[in-house]
Protein backbone atom coordinates (compact mmCIF):
# COMPACT_ATOMS: atom_id res chain seq x y z
CA UNK A 1 0.00 0.00 0.00
CA UNK A 2 1.11 3.57 -0.53
CA UNK A 3 3.66 4.56 2.05
CA UNK A 4 4.41 8.03 0.82
CA UNK A 5 7.01 6.73 -1.63
CA UNK A 6 6.80 5.78 -5.28
CA UNK A 7 5.97 2.13 -5.59
CA UNK A 8 5.30 -0.47 -8.23
CA UNK A 9 1.62 -1.33 -8.46
CA UNK A 10 -0.14 -3.69 -10.83
CA UNK A 11 -3.89 -3.13 -10.58
CA UNK A 12 -6.71 -5.01 -12.24
CA UNK A 13 -9.92 -3.17 -13.06
CA UNK A 14 -12.62 -5.75 -13.64
CA UNK A 15 -15.31 -3.21 -14.64
CA UNK A 16 -18.78 -4.87 -14.71
CA UNK A 17 -17.52 -8.43 -14.81
CA UNK A 18 -17.54 -11.35 -12.33
CA UNK A 19 -20.03 -12.65 -9.83
CA UNK A 20 -19.21 -13.40 -6.19
CA UNK A 21 -18.50 -17.04 -7.01
CA UNK A 22 -16.26 -16.16 -9.92
CA UNK A 23 -14.44 -13.66 -7.72
CA UNK A 24 -13.73 -16.19 -4.98
CA UNK A 25 -12.40 -18.73 -7.47
CA UNK A 26 -10.20 -16.08 -9.14
CA UNK A 27 -8.68 -14.77 -5.90
CA UNK A 28 -8.00 -18.30 -4.64
CA UNK A 29 -6.23 -19.16 -7.88
CA UNK A 30 -4.29 -15.89 -8.09
CA UNK A 31 -3.05 -15.81 -4.47
CA UNK A 32 -0.27 -18.43 -4.71
CA UNK A 33 0.77 -17.20 -8.17
CA UNK A 34 1.58 -13.69 -6.96
CA UNK A 35 2.73 -14.53 -3.43
CA UNK A 36 6.40 -13.96 -4.26
CA UNK A 37 5.86 -10.80 -6.32
CA UNK A 38 7.61 -7.61 -5.26
CA UNK A 39 4.95 -5.31 -6.72
CA UNK A 40 1.74 -4.36 -4.93
CA UNK A 41 -1.18 -6.24 -6.45
CA UNK A 42 -4.52 -4.43 -6.51
CA UNK A 43 -7.86 -5.78 -7.70
CA UNK A 44 -10.76 -3.44 -8.32
CA UNK A 45 -13.88 -5.58 -8.24
CA UNK A 46 -17.65 -4.98 -8.50
CA UNK A 47 -19.29 -3.66 -5.29
CA UNK A 48 -21.11 -6.94 -4.67
CA UNK A 49 -17.83 -8.89 -4.70
CA UNK A 50 -15.72 -6.65 -2.42
CA UNK A 51 -16.50 -8.50 0.76
CA UNK A 52 -15.91 -11.98 -0.58
CA UNK A 53 -12.81 -10.83 -2.48
CA UNK A 54 -11.29 -9.28 0.64
CA UNK A 55 -12.07 -12.39 2.67
CA UNK A 56 -10.52 -14.63 0.02
CA UNK A 57 -7.46 -12.33 -0.13
CA UNK A 58 -6.91 -12.19 3.63
CA UNK A 59 -3.27 -12.81 4.54
CA UNK A 60 -2.14 -12.45 0.92
CA UNK A 61 -0.44 -9.51 -0.79
CA UNK A 62 -3.57 -8.73 -2.85
CA UNK A 63 -5.40 -5.50 -2.01
CA UNK A 64 -9.07 -5.20 -2.86
CA UNK A 65 -10.76 -2.00 -3.99
CA UNK A 66 -13.79 -0.49 -5.69
CA UNK A 67 -14.29 1.19 -9.06
CA UNK A 68 -16.30 4.20 -7.97
CA UNK A 69 -17.95 5.90 -4.98
CA UNK A 70 -20.14 8.89 -4.22
CA UNK A 71 -18.86 12.17 -2.79
CA UNK A 72 -21.40 12.26 0.06
CA UNK A 73 -21.03 10.38 3.33
CA UNK A 74 -24.62 9.14 3.11
CA UNK A 75 -27.98 10.40 1.89
CA UNK A 76 -30.89 10.03 -0.50
CA UNK A 77 -28.83 9.10 -3.56
CA UNK A 78 -30.52 6.08 -5.07
CA UNK A 79 -28.07 3.60 -6.51
CA UNK A 80 -24.96 5.29 -5.13
CA UNK A 81 -22.41 3.95 -2.64
CA UNK A 82 -20.46 5.65 0.16
CA UNK A 83 -16.77 5.28 0.90
CA UNK A 84 -17.44 4.12 4.46
CA UNK A 85 -19.55 1.27 3.05
CA UNK A 86 -16.66 0.24 0.82
CA UNK A 87 -14.24 0.30 3.74
CA UNK A 88 -16.58 -1.82 5.85
CA UNK A 89 -16.83 -4.33 3.00
CA UNK A 90 -13.04 -4.60 2.93
CA UNK A 91 -11.91 -2.12 0.27
CA UNK A 92 -8.51 -0.44 0.66
CA UNK A 93 -8.64 1.75 -2.42
CA UNK A 94 -11.04 3.15 -5.02
CA UNK A 95 -10.68 4.12 -8.67
CA UNK A 96 -11.99 7.64 -9.19
CA UNK A 97 -12.67 9.45 -12.46
CA UNK A 98 -12.19 6.49 -14.79
CA UNK A 99 -12.84 7.61 -18.36
CA UNK A 100 -15.93 5.40 -18.52
CA UNK A 101 -17.31 7.34 -15.54
CA UNK A 102 -16.32 10.65 -17.12
CA UNK A 103 -17.62 9.92 -20.61
CA UNK A 104 -20.53 7.47 -20.21
CA UNK A 105 -21.86 8.84 -16.91
CA UNK A 106 -20.89 12.48 -17.40
CA UNK A 107 -18.72 12.93 -14.29
CA UNK A 108 -17.06 16.33 -14.07
CA UNK A 109 -13.69 17.23 -12.61
CA UNK A 110 -15.49 19.08 -9.80
CA UNK A 111 -17.46 15.95 -8.83
CA UNK A 112 -14.32 13.84 -9.11
CA UNK A 113 -12.48 16.31 -6.88
CA UNK A 114 -15.14 15.96 -4.17
CA UNK A 115 -14.92 12.17 -4.44
CA UNK A 116 -11.12 12.20 -4.06
CA UNK A 117 -11.47 14.27 -0.88
CA UNK A 118 -14.18 12.01 0.51
CA UNK A 119 -12.14 8.89 -0.27
CA UNK A 120 -9.18 10.33 1.65
CA UNK A 121 -11.44 11.27 4.58
CA UNK A 122 -12.82 7.73 4.59
CA UNK A 123 -9.34 6.19 4.59
CA UNK A 124 -9.41 4.87 1.04
CA UNK A 125 -6.49 5.24 -1.37
CA UNK A 126 -7.80 7.03 -4.46
CA UNK A 127 -6.48 6.03 -7.88
CA UNK A 128 -7.29 9.14 -9.89
CA UNK A 129 -7.62 8.48 -13.64
CA UNK A 130 -6.84 11.13 -16.22
CA UNK A 131 -6.49 10.90 -19.99
CA UNK A 132 -7.24 12.57 -23.28
CA UNK A 133 -9.65 11.43 -26.01
CA UNK A 134 -8.52 10.72 -29.56
CA UNK A 135 -9.99 14.01 -30.71
CA UNK A 136 -8.11 15.94 -28.05
CA UNK A 137 -4.93 14.09 -28.91
CA UNK A 138 -5.32 14.78 -32.63
CA UNK A 139 -5.91 18.46 -31.99
CA UNK A 140 -2.68 18.66 -29.98
CA UNK A 141 -4.35 19.41 -26.66
CA UNK A 142 -3.22 16.34 -24.67
CA UNK A 143 -1.05 18.34 -22.27
CA UNK A 144 -3.62 21.08 -21.72
CA UNK A 145 -6.31 18.48 -20.99
CA UNK A 146 -4.12 16.53 -18.57
CA UNK A 147 -3.11 19.67 -16.74
CA UNK A 148 -6.73 20.76 -16.44
CA UNK A 149 -7.84 17.33 -15.20
CA UNK A 150 -5.01 17.20 -12.65
CA UNK A 151 -5.46 20.70 -11.30
CA UNK A 152 -9.26 20.48 -11.15
CA UNK A 153 -9.66 16.88 -9.98
CA UNK A 154 -7.06 17.54 -7.28
CA UNK A 155 -8.07 21.10 -6.42
CA UNK A 156 -7.35 21.98 -2.76
CA UNK A 157 -5.46 18.73 -2.19
CA UNK A 158 -2.58 19.47 0.17
CA UNK A 159 0.93 18.21 -0.19
CA UNK A 160 0.61 15.69 2.67
CA UNK A 161 -2.47 14.23 0.97
CA UNK A 162 -0.72 13.85 -2.41
CA UNK A 163 1.38 11.04 -0.97
CA UNK A 164 -1.80 9.00 -0.47
CA UNK A 165 -3.06 9.39 -4.04
CA UNK A 166 -2.09 7.27 -7.03
CA UNK A 167 -2.46 8.70 -10.54
CA UNK A 168 -3.36 6.59 -13.55
CA UNK A 169 -2.74 7.98 -17.02
CA UNK A 170 -5.20 6.26 -19.33
CA UNK A 171 -5.44 7.69 -22.83
CA UNK A 172 -9.10 7.17 -23.73
CA UNK A 173 -8.17 6.02 -27.25
CA UNK A 174 -6.13 3.16 -25.77
CA UNK A 175 -8.78 1.75 -23.42
CA UNK A 176 -10.24 -1.53 -24.63
CA UNK A 177 -9.11 -0.82 -28.19
CA UNK A 178 -5.96 -2.90 -28.40
CA UNK A 179 -4.05 0.31 -29.19
CA UNK A 180 -1.49 0.85 -26.46
CA UNK A 181 0.47 4.05 -26.23
CA UNK A 182 4.04 3.13 -27.16
CA UNK A 183 6.25 2.89 -24.08
CA UNK A 184 8.20 5.94 -25.27
CA UNK A 185 5.08 7.98 -25.75
CA UNK A 186 3.63 6.90 -22.40
CA UNK A 187 6.96 7.78 -20.75
CA UNK A 188 6.87 11.27 -22.29
CA UNK A 189 3.36 11.87 -21.00
CA UNK A 190 4.26 10.56 -17.55
CA UNK A 191 7.16 13.01 -17.43
CA UNK A 192 4.72 15.79 -18.29
CA UNK A 193 2.37 14.64 -15.50
CA UNK A 194 5.27 14.57 -13.03
CA UNK A 195 6.35 18.04 -14.14
CA UNK A 196 2.82 19.29 -13.62
CA UNK A 197 2.69 17.80 -10.12
CA UNK A 198 5.99 19.53 -9.43
CA UNK A 199 4.57 22.84 -10.61
CA UNK A 200 1.41 22.45 -8.53
CA UNK A 201 2.71 20.75 -5.38
CA UNK A 202 6.49 20.81 -5.51
CA UNK A 203 9.39 18.55 -6.39
CA UNK A 204 9.16 16.25 -3.40
CA UNK A 205 5.56 15.28 -4.18
CA UNK A 206 6.37 14.91 -7.86
CA UNK A 207 9.20 12.49 -7.09
CA UNK A 208 7.09 10.44 -4.71
CA UNK A 209 3.86 10.16 -6.69
CA UNK A 210 3.12 6.76 -8.19
CA UNK A 211 1.98 7.25 -11.78
CA UNK A 212 0.43 4.24 -13.47
CA UNK A 213 -0.31 3.65 -17.14
CA UNK A 214 -3.54 2.09 -18.39
CA UNK A 215 -4.99 1.26 -21.80
CA UNK A 216 -4.68 -2.14 -23.53
CA UNK A 217 -1.95 -3.39 -21.21
CA UNK A 218 -1.27 -7.07 -22.02
CA UNK A 219 1.29 -9.67 -20.88
CA UNK A 220 3.40 -8.93 -23.97
CA UNK A 221 3.69 -5.16 -23.50
CA UNK A 222 3.75 -4.87 -19.69
CA UNK A 223 7.50 -5.29 -19.34
CA UNK A 224 8.46 -2.65 -21.85
CA UNK A 225 6.01 -0.19 -20.29
CA UNK A 226 7.29 -0.90 -16.76
CA UNK A 227 10.88 -0.42 -17.89
CA UNK A 228 10.18 3.26 -18.46
CA UNK A 229 11.56 5.30 -15.57
CA UNK A 230 8.39 7.30 -14.97
CA UNK A 231 5.89 4.45 -15.33
CA UNK A 232 5.48 3.10 -11.80
CA UNK A 233 2.50 0.84 -12.30
CA UNK A 234 -0.16 -0.49 -14.63
CA UNK A 235 -3.96 -0.35 -14.55
CA UNK A 236 -5.24 -3.35 -16.46
CA UNK A 237 -8.79 -3.83 -17.70
CA UNK A 238 -9.50 -6.70 -20.13
CA UNK A 239 -6.27 -8.58 -19.42
CA UNK A 240 -7.04 -8.69 -15.68
CA UNK A 241 -10.10 -10.86 -16.23
CA UNK A 242 -8.21 -14.14 -16.44
CA UNK A 243 -5.80 -15.25 -13.73
CA UNK A 244 -3.40 -16.42 -16.39
CA UNK A 245 -2.91 -13.11 -18.17
CA UNK A 246 -3.08 -10.99 -15.00
CA UNK A 247 -0.49 -13.10 -13.18
CA UNK A 248 1.78 -12.81 -16.21
CA UNK A 249 1.46 -9.03 -16.04
CA UNK A 250 2.25 -9.07 -12.31
CA UNK A 251 5.39 -11.04 -13.24
CA UNK A 252 6.19 -8.71 -16.15
CA UNK A 253 9.90 -8.96 -15.39
CA UNK A 254 9.86 -12.58 -16.57
CA UNK A 255 8.31 -11.75 -19.94
CA UNK A 256 10.47 -12.86 -22.82
CA UNK A 257 8.93 -10.64 -25.47
CA UNK A 258 8.83 -6.94 -25.06
Residue number with CB closer to ligand PGA (10 or 175): 175
Q: State how far the Cα of 30 lies from the Cα of 34, in Å rounded to an integer.
A: 6
Least Å distance, CB 151 to ligand PGA, is 22
Distances from the Cα of 54 to the Cα of 20, 173, 179, angstroms = 11, 32, 32
Measured distance CA(33)–CA(211) in Å, rounded: 25
Question: Considering beta carbons, is residue 87 or 212 the nearer one to ligand PGA?
Answer: 212
Residue nearest ligand PGA by beta-carbon distance: 237
* Interface residues toward ligand PGA, by CB under 6 A: 13, 170, 175-176, 214-217, 235-239
Shortest gap between Cβ of 44 and ligand PGA (angstroms)?
A: 8
Residue in 219, 221, 227 with CA at minimum distance from that of residue 251: 219
| Minimum CB distance to ligand PGA smaller for 49 or for 217 | 217
Please give the DSSP secondary-structure letter assigned to residue 242. Answer: S
Q: Return the closest-CA partner of residue 14 out of 255, 249, 240, 225.
A: 240
Catalytic residues: 98, 170
Residue whose CB is less far from ligand PGA, 11 or 206: 11
Bridge pairing between strands 166-169 and 211-214: parallel
Q: Which is nearer to ligand PGA, 158 or 177 (CB)?
A: 177
Helix/strand/coil for 18: coil
Alpha carbons 168 and 155: distance in angstroms, whole number? 17
**How far is residue 196's CA from residue 28's CA, in Å, rounded to a whole number?**
40
We find the least distance from the C-beta atom of residue 128 to ligand PGA, in angstroms, to be 12
For residue 78, the minimal CB distance to ligand PGA (Å) is 26
Give min distance, CB of 166 to ligand PGA, in A: 13
Paired with 168 in beta bridges are 129, 212
Amino acid sequence: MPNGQRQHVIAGNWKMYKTIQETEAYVRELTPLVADSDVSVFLSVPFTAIRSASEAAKGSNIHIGAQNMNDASEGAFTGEIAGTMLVEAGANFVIIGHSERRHIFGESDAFINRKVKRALDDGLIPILCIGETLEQRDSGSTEAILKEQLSQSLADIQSDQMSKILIAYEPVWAIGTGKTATPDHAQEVHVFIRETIKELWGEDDADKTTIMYGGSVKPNNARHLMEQPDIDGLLVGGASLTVESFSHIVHYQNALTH
